[in-house]
Amino acid sequence: MRLRDFGTTALKVSAVGLGCNNFGMRLDRAATAAVVHAALDAGITLFDTADIYGNRGSSETLLGEALGARRKDIVLVTKFGLPMDDGGRRQGGSRRYVLEAAEASLRRLATDWIDVYYYHRPDPRTPIEETLGALDELKRAGKVRHIGCSNFSPAQIDAAQAAPRQKALPAFVTAQDQYSLLAREIEHDLLPALERHKLALLPYFPLASGMLSGKYRLGRPVPAGTRLGNPRYSDRVLNDANLRIVERLEQFCAARGRTLLQLAFGWLLAKPLVASVIAGASTPEQVRQNAAATGWELTPDEIAEADRITRR
């Protein structure tokens, strides 16, 4: 597994990271442990979770248990900000809640520090300076090493990055947003904002919720038990236009003796801002497939052809 620079930080991370949103939902304690151990054996060093994953907390708990003494060997990423109760109190970016959320995540993860702590979604009710001030307290206490944002607009990123220069607050060093061959909306204005501020990008849904896994075919039923059997995901990406693009991408890969999985990862890893690609997995075999799919370093001509096939 190749290691890559994590933006402007001193961290090194595996080219493919493990997305842990299945833990505590689709995967129980034993299945989670099997996936985590397979990832460690494959050389994966970036583990991405959030307090909200696993029905509000189970993902962090199961990940912490599975890592055990191996916690020190990995880069641990988690997030805060989305609702952790039904009453609307445990959410957002207020100082009170940020400090509370961090302590809760540390307990569930059974660790003393979080390597990268992401603001999962901006809170319009709280000034960004207040949130950054709370994150500064966590950094000074050694509980958080680096901070990032997720699902921010370009204007929100600009505002967030201006605040540290004015008030001696910590700055975001990374962003986490949806990006894949089939979801390229961030190229219009978000990627330029990340470039302006030198933020490392962790793209999520790199396989477009499975569309780029090779499991789905035009005119065939959706395989049972897959993510796109859930309308929450299928309504976004499962359509004839995308299935036709996938067919052309598969032909492109076959002509070069490559797989669609290799293309999906290789195309993203060719982007200078991308530090690692977050890929979820529900079995150890899926982890091993993801880890093995990072060897295709696309040429400029191959990138241009993939862009041409997928351009809307």
CATH label of the domain that carries residue 46: 3.20.20.100
Strand partners, 5: 12
Owning domain of residue 111: 3-216+272-295
**pLDDT computed for residue 42 by the predictor:** 97
pTM of the model: 0.93
Residue 94 CB-half CA count within 13 A: 9
Please identify which of the residues 53, 117, 118, 119 carries the catalytic annotation.
53
Rounded-to-integer distance, Cα 245 and Cα 228, Å: 17
**pLDDT computed for residue 224 by the predictor:** 64
Helix axes of 260-269 and 240-254: crossing angle, nearest 10 degrees? 90
**pLDDT computed for residue 223 by the predictor:** 66
Three-state DSSP state, 12: strand
**Which residues of the chain are under the pLDDT cut of 50?**
none
**pLDDT computed for residue 209 by the predictor:** 86
Determine how many CB atoms are found less than 10 A away from the CB of residue 265. Answer: 27
Domain contains 44: yes
Domain contains 312: no
Domain contains 144: yes
- For residue 79, which phi and psi values (nearest 5 degrees)? -140, 160
Rounded-to-integer distance, Cα 75 and Cα 281, Å: 18
Domain contains 138: yes
Return the closest-CA partner of residue 144 out of 112, 109, 176, 97.
112
Q: Would residue 233 show up in a list of annotated catalytic residues for this protein?
A: no
Domain contains 118: yes
Number of domains in the chain: 1
